[in-house]
Amino acid sequence: MRGLNHPAIEGIDLVTVLAALGDPVRLGIVAELADGAEHPCVAFDFGITAASMSHHFRVLREAGLTRTRQEGRHRRLTLRRAELDRRFPGLLAPLLAAARDRATHRT
Amino acid sequence: MRGLNHPAIEGIDLVTVLAALGDPVRLGIVAELADGAEHPCVAFDFGITAASMSHHFRVLREAGLTRTRQEGRHRRLTLRRAELDRRFPGLLAPLLAAARDRATHRT
């Protein structure tokens, strides 16, 4: 079984976080996760291949933005909201608001 | 004379802004501009070539983050702070704080 790497929040670099979010699909995933719920990976639909989605999920996980939970054959995602709020105080709320606003106006 | 393109703030995409900031040199430039002052381009020193710096200045300008003013043979940069605050409410302050914190701990 392939291990799922979740970096410690203290070691997360702001540049890595911003680079991870500087992509329309990844920002869209995070905008959906902003509701605080756990989302099945299969539920995200951005009109791209499963392989591409898998890549984006990995980038988000390795940047410390998301936590992936394996449950049988399925994976579920949550935003590491509380940890990120501690690491980058005040950043997530306006960022997620802008991301959701963007998603609303593009769909 | 080469024109300096400054996109209208209303058309600036959050993804473009985040991608522009997801680079250590560009985030470092913006962290220095966070003081609100106008900085001569030649004053930034990240230990890379002038051509590379020129590229990073252009990416920041085209992403709507900075305003470049030509003065004779020199260029001076400011952060488009007020416009960005209108476009992405509440985002800049915590982002710049985190960027400055990062710059402080790395220099």
Q: Is A95 part of any domain? A: yes
Mean pLDDT (whole number) for B78-87: 97
CA distance A63 to A17: 6
Q: Is B96 part of any domain? A: yes
**Position B4 confidence tier, pLDDT thresholds 50, 70, 90:** confident
Q: Which domain holds residue B60?
A: 12-106
A36 close to B (CB below 8 A): no
Chain A partners within 8 Å of B20 (Cβ): 22
Q: Is B7 part of any domain? A: no
Mean pLDDT (whole number) for B60-76: 95
Mutate which: B14, B21, B26, vs A, most A CBs within 10 A: B14
Q: What is the pLDDT of residues A66-79, one digit of tens each?
A: 999 999 999 999 99
- CA-nearest of A22, A38, A34, A29 to A84 is A34
How many structural domains compose chain A?
Answer: 1
CA A95 to the chain's CA centroid: 13
Q: Is B3 part of any domain? A: no
Q: ipTM of the predicted structure?
A: 0.93
Residue B2 is predicted with a pLDDT of 57
Q: Is A6 part of any domain? A: no
**Position B107 confidence tier, pLDDT thresholds 50, 70, 90:** low
Residue A107 is predicted with a pLDDT of 54
Residue contact A18–B21, C-beta within 8 A: yes
CATH code for position A50:
1.10.10.10
Residue A2 is predicted with a pLDDT of 57
A35 Cβ contact partners less than 8 Å away, ≥ 6 residues apart: none
Contacts 24+ apart (CB under 8 A), B88-94: B88/A94, B88/A98, B88/B14, B88/B17, B89/A94, B89/A97, B89/A98, B90/A90, B90/A93, B90/A94, B90/A97, B91/A91, B91/A94, B91/A95, B91/A98, B93/A90, B94/A88, B94/A89, B94/A90, B94/A91, B94/A94
Mean pLDDT taken over chain B: 94
Phi and psi angles of residue A11, each rounded to the nearest 5 degrees, phi first: -90, 0
Q: Is B75 part of any domain? A: yes
Mean pLDDT (whole number) for A99-106: 88
Chain B partners within 8 Å of A15 (Cβ): 21-24, 27, 102
Q: Is A96 part of any domain? A: yes
Q: Looking at the predicted structure, is the pLDDT value of residue A32 above 80?
A: yes
Q: Is B99 part of any domain? A: yes
A92 close to A84: Cβ distance less than 8 angstroms: yes
